[in-house]
Amino acid sequence: MDAPPLNSLLVFPPEVEQVAVAVLNDVMQPGGKKLVHFMQSWIINTVAVLVAVAILQNHISYGGKLQNLLLVSLLLGILNAFVRPILIFIALPLLIFTLGLFTLVINALLLSLLTLLLSFFHITGSSGNFSFGYAFLGALIISIISSALNVLTGNARVSFQRRSPPNPPKSPGGGNGPVIDV
């Protein structure tokens, strides 16, 4: 019995199905390590988006469906992988000047871009209109949660190691010579 083609198993809307098929076909190569890393990153991104939506529940919404949440996190991951490096390169002087804090603005811009790409994803202020401030807060929450989960799962690019202190240098003669205070 033959397995059904990959695109018949997808649950994405038609407007993003081609992108999803291309990404999944690239990731699902023999070897499995890429697939496991991709799935781990996608789950972490989905949890981070879900936490941001829960904290800012009256301001960020994805329509309440699991399918929408998965699509939001997948598309955010794709934007982070392909668009974010370009924006970081363009904004390099600002990143240097702000010691990297402008990255949060770039993350907020990418989150805001999702509201244009997905009709069910909304970021609104108290007036009901789009709010960059809540996009910034949502991006900050997503960054903190995904960084913490990446560190906890060992998926982080940065690792923390504690080394033992170096041994003190040995002085010639065994260190038992006279001490001269000045």
Residues 138-180 pLDDT 10s: 999 999 999 999 888 877 776 667 787 777 666 555 556 667 7
User: Distance between CA 181 and CA 178 in Å, rounded?
Assistant: 10
In the predicted structure, residue 6 carries a pLDDT above the cut 90? no
Three-state SS string over the chain comes to CCCCCHHHCCCCCHHHHHHHHHHHHHHCCCCCHHHHHHHHHHHHHHHHHHHHHHHCCCCEECCCCHHHHHHHHHHHHHHHHHCHHHHHHHCHHHHHHCCCCHHHHHHHHHHHHHHHHCCCCEEECCCCCECHHHHHHHHHHHHHHHHHHHHHHCCCCCCCCCCCCCCCCCCHHHHCCCCCCC
In the predicted structure, residue 3 carries a pLDDT above the cut 80? no
- What share of the chain has pLDDT > 70, as a percent? 75
Question: What pLDDT score was predicted for residue 94?
Answer: 95
In the predicted structure, residue 33 carries a pLDDT above the cut 80? no
Average pLDDT value for residue range 81-92: 94
Question: What pLDDT score was predicted for residue 43?
Answer: 92
Residues 43-85 pLDDT 10s: 999 999 999 999 999 899 998 888 999 999 999 999 998 999 9
Average pLDDT value for residue range 107-115: 95
Residue spans per domain, the chain: 12-154
User: Distance between CA 152 and CA 77 in Å, rounded?
Assistant: 19
Give how far Cα 39 sits from Cα of 69, 87, 98, 138, Å: 15, 25, 33, 22
In the predicted model, what is the mean pLDDT of the chain? 83
